[in-house]
Amino acid sequence: MKTRLQRYIEQNVFCRCGQAVSRLAESGLVARPEMPDSETEIREWWLVSPDAARALRAAGQPVLQFCELYLWGRTQAPGPLKDDPALAQAAQPAEPPVPTGW
């Protein structure tokens, strides 16, 4: 039986796309994001779903958007996606909204 994270990866992380990001950046169509920690390096780029892009961006991960494509800059590579802490955080169910009252 697959875990929640394995299902999340199957449904939201599609393929590596490093060459595409390099070509888009060389053409000036996207700007590579700067990481807040100068020691953190983007090691792989992955094509992800809009939902994954939102969750990863909320977790402080680098995400580029080009038209309707979302590209996640993975910093925890190499290694299996299932071991990536950013994906584990993104796969968590969203917190229900807090009632605001009247």
Q: pLDDT of 40-66, one tens digit each?
A: 788 899 999 999 999 999 988 989 888
- Average of pLDDT values for 84-101? 83
Q: Give dist(CA 24, CA 33) in Å, integer.
A: 13
Q: Give dist(CA 63, CA 32) in Å, integer.
A: 9
Q: Give dist(CA 64, CA 49) in Å, integer.
A: 12
Q: pLDDT of 4-14, one tens digit each?
A: 899 999 999 99
Kindly tell me if the per-residue pLDDT of 32 is higher than 60: yes
Q: Give dist(CA 24, CA 3) in Å, integer.
A: 34
